[in-house]
Amino acid sequence: MPTPPAHSALARRRRLGSTRAPMTHRAPPQLPLLPAAPPFSPSQPGGLGTDLVRVLRQRFRLQSFRPGQEEVCRSAIAGRDCLLVMPTGGGKSLCYQLPALERSGPCLVISPLIALMEDQVAKLQQLGLNADRIHSNRSRAESQEALRAWHAGRLDFLMIAPERLRVPGFAQRLAQRPPSLIAVDEAHCISMWGHDFRPDYRLLGERLPELRGDGQIPIVAMTATATVRVQKDILAQLGIPEARAFIRGFRRDNLGIEMVERAPASRGADVLRLLSDPLRRPAIVYALSRKQVEELADDLAKHFPCAAYHAGLPPERRKDVQEGFQSGRIQVVVATVAFGMGIDKADIRTVMHLGLPSSVEAYYQEIGRAGRDGLQSKVIALYSWADRHLHTHFFERSYPPPEELVSVLKHVPEEGIRREDLLRPFRSRLEVAEAALDKLWGHSAVTIDYDDTVRDTSAAVPRWLDAYKNQRAYREAQVDDMFTLARDGGCRMVALTSYFGDVHDNRPCGHCDRCAPETDAVRRTRAPDQREQRLLQGIVDALADSGSVSAGKLHREVFGSRLERKEFELLLDGLEREGVIDSHAASFDKDGQTIRYRQIELDRETDLEDGEWVERVRLEGDEPPVRAALPKRKAAAAKATTASRAKSAAVATPPARVTEAPRRLDQGRDERLISELKAWRLAQCRLERVPAFRILTDATLLEIAAVVPKTMAELLRVHGVGPRFVERYGRELLAELDR
């Protein structure tokens, strides 16, 4: 890590000899492949005395287990149901593959992703194991051959998509040769509380008993992202409430997390600037819409090998992009969330988000694709509150209002109806009706047979509508959780691990934008002006009196409506970057909802006696922009440019205390200046097509004419002038006053 600037919080803590200085910890990578070994004869089921390291080396050509893998393997070999929550790239696949071989029988793997199935089958075949798959991209003849190989005992592993279990008789045919172990990949898809709920996965609860027989066949459910609530629901839906849970390794200390508020228009330039460095590639860039994906990919492709990927592209094109990225022919992929699942590329150096994902679970899974080789990698999210509008659009499309579900259900006759006929009356809002039907099916209010016949089963689940309303509210809150994570203080990695239930892991990672702001790749900072310095001092004084307190309470009791909450949070961020305060994410449950908040306290090692700390604080944001002068003022504005820039240094350097008392408004009016200010205001409101008072009220204009502020800080003291006004008009107005 480079030596931090002398003013940084990390440097100051090192000078003080703090024992809490962030440290860099690298996750141990999976060791390289060993040479192929001679054929191995598996032991009998339940062979817990087996030397599993020997099995690992001979069958999988790996030198040693990663942390937690061997414990899971031994439990599954003994026949115990297991829930494994381990981050992407943590080695989940081995935790069912090795036990399956040790239990001396075929393994059935259920996976929702064709790309993942293809990748896993190819890797198993490379190891000399017999593996095949059945999914929608395979022909009927290929699927039948895979099923015959299963029955004949020629397969070690068979991978199937969950929707195959809807085919009448398919589960019974598999059960004719019972598996030795059943692996359920992406298990969070079975939970309505999971970030990627898929109704097809609900079939597993009905079909798995047919495959398990007397229940002696263990289930290993695996996922990379599951909150405590989702973990409990997975076990309930799969019918394995006594399963042993292994929650392992959410911490990824080789990822440097940075989350920066940036306007959408500037994000493309940030991406190009960062990824122009070859050391930051290979990279994945996630955007929220297909249009953004295609436009950015076209721009980036002019500078380095780059391609777009989204669900609207033809299958052959998506396959080509995926294979090109895996091979290195394509260095950067700009994609929607459709890309990444099933990608096992170890050397991805950067993952960027242009807009926040819809949930913390999705975010964690996507950044987990970086740095699987254990080397340092950067994950950067560029976001703004404007992204919420797009998320609201996506949400309403995926989770229609409850009345839409009721309307669709009313069109289902007692004898049932073909899906196509049911949706015909809703042609004008087909997308909404399809989503409503999907949710009805997910909540068992209807059934959809293999021939697409829809039947009303809501009488059997009288509270289905309440369940849907709860799910909808939970989904909406997930977006709020994502924005809270972006705005919260404290170590980013600690915030993520605590979100997934690991409340004991509170060691700072040492290189996120909170722990080591000097390593930021995108964020720009500036010095506080005089007003902001007073606000910073007020926060510190309040914390000295109150001790540990929530950010919301501190804002209400100290500032109230006098200071916008967004600006207050920016001040807290600046204090935390300098090491003046500490903060961490906390939560409590209320009415079944988890309420998260930011807890703040003074850093015990901070020396506040000399008062110099306030000058070292850096606040996020650019310097106020220079606005174009009005046409009739061009000469005067040009003359004032040098003086205006000097005066704008108030943003970077605290101004000297103003000793001259401001003039009273009734001490005489400068009518000429008032007239010029009104002319400036009129031109501005015509330019922006807003009423004059939206630019500047008469009372504020008169006070400006009376005070004649010389600096940004003096302008901020004028009643009715706030930070937004100064940011937009400050430099231009000071130039007007300086004529």
pLDDT digits (tens, 9 = 90+) for 426-480: 988 888 999 999 899 889 899 888 678 999 999 999 999 999 999 898 888 888 8
Q: What per-residue confidence (pLDDT) applies to 5? A: 41
Q: What per-residue confidence (pLDDT) applies to 212? A: 85
Closest to 583 measured CA to CA, from 525, 515, 502: 515
Residue ranges per structural domain of the chain: 52-247, 255-384+488-499, 392-476, 526-581, 631-737
Q: What per-residue confidence (pLDDT) applies to 21? A: 32
- For domain 392-476, the CATH architecture is Orthogonal Bundle (1.10)
Tell whether the model's pLDDT for residue 12 goes beyond 60: no
Whole-number percent of the chain with pLDDT over 70? 81
Q: What per-residue confidence (pLDDT) applies to 689? A: 59
- For the question of whether the overall pTM of this predicted structure is more than 0.75, the answer is no
Q: What is the pLDDT of the chain when averaged over all its residues?
A: 80
The reply to whether 392-476 and 526-581 are identical in fold is yes
Instruction: Point out which residues pair with 259 in neighbouring strands.
Output: 381
**8 A C-beta contact, residue 568 and residue 574:** no
Q: Most confidently modeled of 3-12, 84-93, 322-331?
A: 322-331
Which token pair is 668? 């005489």
Which H or E run includes 433?
helix 430-442
Q: Which whole number is the average pLDDT over 710-735?
A: 78
**8 A C-beta contact, residue 106 and residue 180:** yes
Q: Most confidently modeled of 115-129, 336-350, 520-534, 535-549?
A: 115-129
Q: Most confidently modeled of 62-66, 627-631, 648-652, 708-712?
A: 62-66
Judge if the upstream peptide bond of residue 315 is cis by omega within 30 degrees of 0.
Answer: no
Phi, psi for 165 (deg, rounded to 5): -70, -10
Task: For residue 638, name the pLDDT band (cuts at 50, 70, 90).
Answer: very low
Phi, psi for 616 (deg, rounded to 5): -85, -20
Q: What is the pLDDT of residues 597-615, one digit of tens each?
A: 778 888 876 667 666 788 7
Q: In what order do the strands lie in the sheet with 446-448?
A: 417-418, 453-456, 446-448
Least confident of 100-109, 210-219, 354-363, 402-411: 210-219
565/556 Cα distance (integer angstroms): 9
68 burial via Cβ count (<10 Å: 0-12, 13-18, 19+): middle
Q: What per-residue confidence (pLDDT) applies to 646? A: 35
Helix (H, G, I), strand (E, B) or coil at 249: coil
Tell whether the model's pLDDT for residue 151 goes beyond 60: yes
Indicate the fold that domain 526-581 takes in CATH: Arc Repressor Mutant, subunit A (1.10.10)
**8 A C-beta contact, residue 441 and residue 449:** no
Q: Which whole number is the average pLDDT over 153-160?
A: 95
List the Cα angle 432/435/441 in 5-degree steps: 140
Task: For residue 124, name the pLDDT band (cuts at 50, 70, 90).
Answer: very high
Tell whether the model's pLDDT for residue 348 goes beyond 90: yes
Q: Does the domain formed by 631-737 have CATH 1.10.1270.20?
A: no
Domain spanning 52-247: which superfamily?
Answer: P-loop containing nucleotide triphosphate hydrolases (3.40.50.300)
Tell whether the model's pLDDT for residue 692 goes beyond 80: no
Whole-number percent of the chain with pLDDT over 90? 32
Tell whether the model's pLDDT for residue 650 goes beyond 70: no
358/393 Cα distance (integer angstroms): 11
Helix (H, G, I), strand (E, B) or coil at 122: helix
299 residue type, one letter: D
683/702 Cα distance (integer angstroms): 17
176 residue type, one letter: Q
Q: What per-residue confidence (pLDDT) applies to 688? A: 63
**8 A C-beta contact, residue 436 and residue 407:** yes
314 burial via Cβ count (<10 Å: 0-12, 13-18, 19+): exposed
Q: What is the pLDDT of residues 725-734, one digit of tens each?
A: 777 788 778 8
Phi, psi for 403 (deg, rounded to 5): -65, -25
Q: Most confidently modeled of 207-216, 245-254, 320-329?
A: 320-329
228 burial via Cβ count (<10 Å: 0-12, 13-18, 19+): middle
Closest to 99 measured CA to CA, from 108, 86, 110: 108
255-384+488-499: what CATH class? alpha beta
What letter would DSSP give residue 385?
T
Tell whether the model's pLDDT for residue 700 goes beyond 70: yes
Helix (H, G, I), strand (E, B) or coil at 577: helix
Tell whether the model's pLDDT for residue 541 goes beyond 80: yes
Q: What is the pLDDT of residues 496-517, one digit of tens each?
A: 888 887 766 778 888 898 888 8
What letter would DSSP give residue 128?
T
Exposure b/e, 321-337, CB count within 10 A at least 16 = b: bbeebeeeebbbbbbbb
Q: What is the pLDDT of residues 201-233, one digit of tens each?
A: 877 888 888 888 777 899 999 988 788 888 899
Tell whether the model's pLDDT for residue 76 goes beyond 90: yes
Total residues belonging to the chain: 739
Tell whether the model's pLDDT for residue 302 goes beyond 90: yes
Tell whether the model's pLDDT for residue 643 goes beyond 50: no
Helix (H, G, I), strand (E, B) or coil at 434: helix
Helix (H, G, I), strand (E, B) or coil at 718: coil
Q: What per-residue confidence (pLDDT) applies to 297? A: 96
Q: What per-residue confidence (pLDDT) applies to 82? A: 95
Closest to 667 measured CA to CA, from 701, 721, 720, 705: 705
Task: For residue 321, name the pLDDT band (cuts at 50, 70, 90).
Answer: very high
Q: Which is more confidently placed, 32 or 258?
A: 258
Q: Give one DSSP letter per residue of 61-88, joined into a string.
A: --SSPPTTHHHHHHHHHTT--EEEE--T
